[in-house]
Amino acid sequence: MLFMKPNLEEMNKYIYGDEWANLWQKYFAYRPTTNDAVKFLSELAPNGKVLELGVGSGRIALPLSESGMRVTGLDSSTAMLSYLQKNDQKNAVQVVVGNAEKFELKDKDFDLVYFVSWGLHALLSEEKVRGCFESVNKHLNNHGLFVIECMHYEGYKFSDRTLQIAGMDTGLAVLSGEMRNLDAQLLLNTYVFLRDNETPRVHTSASHYWTTEQLDTMAGEAGFDFVQAYGSWGKISLTNKTPNMIRLYQRK
């Protein structure tokens, strides 16, 4: 085992360029949970004004806008936002370049803010996560909702230091793996793309995971009340075997 000290912030910046945006569209843009997520969110604020943090290429934002919701999408990756703008033929989603850890928008009367795909875990310090909660609180109307899709630490099975086949196609194998720093609550992730007769590509990222109690404490101190939690967008119960979590908070 190597004892390395990776630059976590640089590791995450590394994946936000054009190449990763292209790979994302090719291999990760489709999620079988998308329809359930759109239904879940649209029912919370029918025809409402909503903000997505880490909007990416608009996997959730675009169908929400088609359902009648007024959607603003914030993301730090201009490469991902360019895909959103290409896909948004009606210019229905208002695009903002910015960071989820701290943002200041003109509109501060959103009915709903949501952060999906474990995006919160890309904020690598308690200070940044607290900053996210505080920024969201400032941009919600009275009793507005904040919805987070994140790791359920108490139910997640870590596959520490093991490479697995994440997907295959003709002449292609995609491997994935992770390493955990238990004391720092950090998870290092990698995807290795092996295509026949091509140079292998390696993409790495870092995530900071939190216990449920830690999340609720930070949310409460930022001015939120806990409302409800589920194990999926389909509203299955949250158990100690559920790796994913949908957590709802309401502005006090």
Out of 14-28, 150-164, 172-186, 219-233, which region has the weakest mean confidence (pLDDT)? 14-28
pLDDT reported for residue 193: 94
Asked whether 155 and 243 are in contact (CB, 8 A), the reply is yes
Task: Give 219-246 pLDDT, tens digit per residue.
Answer: 999 999 999 999 999 999 999 999 999 9
Burial class (CB in 10 A: 0-12, 13-18, 19+), 60: buried
Torsion angle of the four alpha carbons 197, 190, 20, 202, in this order, in degrees rounded to the nearest 10: -30
What's the token pair of residue 158?
Answer: 């870590």
Task: Give 9-29 pLDDT, tens digit per residue.
Answer: 777 776 667 788 888 888 888
Q: What is the mean pLDDT of residues 105-133?
A: 97
Q: What is the mean pLDDT of residues 153-171?
A: 92
pLDDT reported for residue 1: 52
Question: pTM for the whole thing?
Answer: 0.93
pLDDT reported for residue 133: 99
User: Rounded to an integer, what distance in angstroms lies between the CA atom of residue 203 and that of residue 149?
Assistant: 22
